[in-house]
Every structure is written in C-alpha cells, then in structure tokens.
Amino acid sequence: MLRPRLASSMHSPRRIVLLLTSFVCLGYLIRYLPSPTETDFDFSSEHVPRPPRPNYPPFQPPNDVKDDTKEKQVDLGGTEIWSERAKSVTRTFLRAYGAYENFAPFPNDELLPVSSKSIKNFNGWGLTMVDSLDTMWLLGLKDLFHQSLTNVEKIDFAMRPSEYAPFFETVIRYLGGLLSAYALSNEPILLQRAEELGNKLLPAFDTPSGMPRYGVNTESGKTQPSGSMLFAEIASCQMEYKYLAHLANRPDFFQKVDRIMDHLVKTQSTHGMWPTRFNIESGLPIGSHYSIGSWADSSFEYLLKQYLLSGKTEERLAHIYLKAMNGILEKLVFVSPHRNLLYITDANDATPTRRFEHLSCFFPGLLALGAETLPDTIMTDEEREIHKWAAEGLAYTCWIMYADQPSGLGAEIVTFDNDYSVDISKQAWFFHLNKWKEAGQPTAKPPGVGNPDGPIPKGSKGKQDYTLTDDRYLLRPETLESMFILYRTTKDPAWRERGWQIWEAIEAKTRTDVAYANVEGVGTSSPRHQDVMPSYFLAETIKYAYLIASDVDPYPSNKFIFNTEAHPLPVFKWTVEQRQAFQIV
C-alpha cells in the first residue's frame, strides 16, 4: 500500500517541480561544498595540515581608552623590506600558534610538532597560550588576544596530590606572561589570575632560609623536598613578584623575594660571583662551580633588571650586579687560539671547561643593557667601555656559532680548543686586554673585539677553534635577543642583518608540516626534527625576530624591562607608602 501511494503522489505536477528543484540543489551542494579534508581533521589517520589561520584584525579599544602606543615607540630606522620582514614573522607566529590551537588546544601546554599531538608538561594550564599573550599584543593580533582571555578565566590552578608546579618555570612563564599581558592591555582578569597564582606559589618560600624549593602543589601547599637549588632557580623570581607587589600593594610578595637578595649581598665573593648551587636550608652557596650558563644565567640578569624595573631605586642591586659582571669578565671570558673569538665558559675550582653554551648568548645583550642604563655614579667610564667591548666580542661569537654551520643554526654547546703551548691564564681576555693597554692600544679595539675574518666558508677545512659538543638547536632565543639589544644600543645595522640571517635559518630549517621544531645535527645542511616546540619559541624567539625587523622599538629600556622569558614589564616607582611598608633599601 505504501509504494503505490508514494508513486501516485510523486506524479503530481507540484511534486515533480519540487523534486527537480531538490536534485538541482543537491547537485550544486555536491559540486561546491568543501570536501571533508578541507573542513575536518581526522586525528586517527594521516595528518593533513589545515589551511593557514586568518590574520586577525587589530582589536579596536573603546573610545575612552587612551592609545599611547606611539609614546612608547622609539624610531630605529628602516626600509620597506624590513616592514615586509616583520609581516613574515607575524605569519610564522600565526602558523605556529594556529597549529597549537588545532592540535594541542588549551589546556594542553605544548604542541608536539612532528606527530601533531599535545603534551601537558608544565602543569596543564595552557602554557603556550599564556606565554604567547604579549606576543599577540606586540604583533597587533588584538582580536586573538581577547579571544584567549576566555581561556585565561578557565585556568584551574588546582593539582592532584602527587603533582608539583616547578616554581622557577611557573614564575617566569605563567606569572610573567599574565603580568605582562595585564600591563599591556589593562584587562583586570589577567591581574586577578596573576595574584591568585602568586598566592598559590608562596608556600615554596617556607624554608629556614626563605629560599624557594623546587616545586609546590598549588592545591595543598605541599612542597617538593630539595636540599639544594640552582642559582638560577632561587634568584629569578624577583621581577615578577616585585611588580605584582607594586600592583597589588602586597608587602609579603616583596619581602619573600627580597630576602633572597639579602643572602646574595652577604655571600657575594671577592671576585663577585656565586657558585651555581645553594643550600636552601642555610641559604649559603655550595661548591666551586661558577657559570653564566644554564645553572645561573637569569640570576645575574635579574640583578640589573630588578634595579631598572623599579625605576633605579634599589641601588644595592646595581652595585652587586656591577661587581659580579667585572668578576665574570675577568675570570670566565677567554680568547680562542686561532680566530681570536671571544667566548665565555664555566669553571670548576678555577679551571675553565672551555664549554660555551647557547644559553650564555644572552650575556652580551645584558652587558650592553647595563652599559646603556647604569648611571655614572655607579659605573665608571672605563668599566662602561670594557663592558661594551665584551658585549660586541661575545655577540659576534654567538653569531659566528650560527654562520659557521651548514644549517645556519647554532649548536646547544660547543667546546673551544685549548692552546696547550700557552698557560690557560694567558688565554684569558683580561690578560690580552692588559697586554693591549701596555702596548699603547695599537689597534682601535682590543683582541677578541671587532674580528674582521667572519665565518669559516662552508666546506672549508679551516680551523673553527671549537667542536660541536651538543649539535642540537632547541629553538632558543638568546642569540637573537643579543642581536636585537646590540642593534638597539649601537644603531649598527650589522647586528640587525646578522639577527635576520639567523631568523631565516630558523624559519627554513625548523619548519615541520604543521609548525616548528627543535632539531639535531646543526653541523649538517639538513638537521633532523625533534618532536618538541617549546612555548618560549612563541614567547621569546619569534618576539625578538619581530623586534629586529620592526622599524620602531615599542619597549625602550627606560619604559619596559623584559623578564627572562621576554615578557615586557613596565618600569614603575615604589610609592612612599610602599617604601615604608615594604622596608625597601
């Protein structure tokens, strides 16, 4: 009965017209609708990259919000080619962040850029998103920035009983990222979440010395047992907590982190340096290993930057910074035997290892920043000149580490050659510097500075003066950071071009099907990808590449200071009430 009834109804003129119309529409849809591979991603099958994400339009602030961007910018000069280069860096960010959103969305921490999978390796609070907020703002991606605030509100700082937030990384990446994004946008939710996180991390300081433990459970306040800590881990939280103390008017935030500075003042050695480990029960340094590299780097950075961040009001920090820098330049900086390359290394019991870390390439930028900003009442003219020379020589070597390699990428660690015919003390830069002075300064600059030879030609058997100890490039920002600061402080366009040369190699050699990855084998023309894209690639490396290409400096050093994760924090002044309540010296 059903079939004849359906058949008879289909033969009516009105039904025939409707049916024909339906077939036409169906044919149109089949022809013109995107295929499933264009709109959907099948995570269970072979990965096909999605189309590039759109370039988000700039966010338009309400009429009552003052746009003071122009007041903060310093003209660096440039041409149309640099404008195009800056745009290309923005496209790189959109590609990397778009892949994170597609394959490792919040609350995942980082993207695995080879397998297109995700990982929760830093608390599971959306690390790449938080670390990228101020980069979005800098690149003019204000719409994307404001979209991300929805996820900032959703961050759950709770943890399972067996979990611990690594104090150092959580402070510089999460707390620094939230505070910088707040300083740039004035969005209240960012400050609210920053203060909440700052509170949850405070139990880390509950030790006899007041120095923080390695990890803290943000739910229970339980800390991870640790008898000793690295120098970098205990003395790289002051910028974030002091700025938060200023914003929230919290004496406890200031006093917790400044107590560590008290220990450093009391334990600074006659040569100005501290060992790389501290006993957190007693607050005393341990051992005789000295370094500016991975175990100590940001602690030296924060001595100067705390002083600058609070409007040069905590003067004792500037003095211990200068004493430390002078000691490092005297004890840890050497000249290579053939090419006269200046390099900085670590030392055990006063014996240098001749290892030169990529992480140490932040150091020339720090020296240049100090030489630019320290007042004459603290730094002498001679010290300023020596620091500038060291900055130039070390930055040049950091660039050479990239330019020498077939891949164009710098190695994680190299070991410099030792001239066994010469005592190691006579390879020290200060020995060469003093000899140069005694000779009446026969050249415009001392040995190790202003080296004209350039990189070893590709395929050459010439002596590089070093061997690759760890041939990975981990998407690190330190050399780009120093290229930017050297260009900003000297106005010499060579630093800008060198920085861009490095960036082009990064873009070309670390690019995967969906994003960018750490690589190994920088001594080859085709390094191999590793399944890692650290959040700092978006927070730091891309940011410094953009700043190198930008014709203006939106973060001049008299108005903004970068934390060690490249999160810009605005220079502020302690109020009279805060100086009294916080007992600031």
Q: Which of 240, 258, 412, 465 does the annotation list as catalytic?
A: 412
Residue of 101, 109, 131, 169 with catalytic role: 169
Q: At what angle do helices 188-201 and 176-185 cross, to 10 degrees?
A: 160
Angle in degrees, CA 179, 185, 189, rounded to 5: 60
Q: Tell me the C-alpha distance between 55 and 174, whole Å.
A: 25
Q: Which of 110, 131, 195, 297 is catalytic?
A: 297
Given the residues 478, 481, 553, 565, select the one marked as catalytic: 478
Task: Render the burial of 133-158: b for 16+ CB within 10 Å, e for the rest.
Answer: bbbbbbbbbbbbbeebbeebeebebe
Q: Active-site residue 40, yes or no?
A: no
Give phi and psi for 113, each to the nearest 5. Answer: -80, -5
Burial class (CB in 10 A: 0-12, 13-18, 19+), 300: buried
Cis peptide before 107 (omega within 30 of 0): yes
Neighbours of 100 (CB within 10 A): 27
Give the C-alpha distances (Å, rounded to integers) separating 227 from 297, 498, 514: 21, 43, 42
Active site residue 169: yes
**Among candidates 367, 398, 383, 390, which has minimal Cα distance to 502?**
398
Verify whether residue 478 is a known catalytic residue.
Answer: yes
Chain centroid to Cα 4, Å, comes to 75
Give one DSSP letter per residue of 239-268, joined into a string.
HHHHHHHHHHT-HHHHHHHHHHHHHHHHH-
Has 143 been annotated as catalytic? Answer: no
How far apart, in whole angstroms, are the C-alpha atoms of residue 298 and residue 284? 19
Q: Give the H or E element holding residue 230.
A: strand 228-230
The CA-based angle 232-238-240, given to 5 degrees, is 110
CB proximity list for 339: less than 8 A, separation 6 or greater: 451, 453, 463, 464, 465
On whether 541 is known to bind a ligand per the annotation, the reply is: no
Distance CA 554, CA 547 (A): 8
Torsion of CA 86, 397, 305, 171, to 10 degrees: 70
Helices vs. strands in the chain: H and E counts, helices first: 23, 22
Specify the DSSP class assigned to residue 511: B
Sequence-separated (6 or more) residues with CB below 8 Å from residue 52:
91, 94, 95, 98
Beta-carbon neighbour count of residue 16 at 10 Å? 11
CA 273 from chain centre, in angstroms, equals 24
Helix, strand, coil percentages, rounded to 5, for the chain: 50, 10, 40
Structure tokens at 291: 């370094």
Only one residue has tokens 């620091």, namely: 387
Feature table: binding site for Ca(2+) = 564
Feature table: binding site = 564
Cite the active site residues: 169, 297, 412, 478
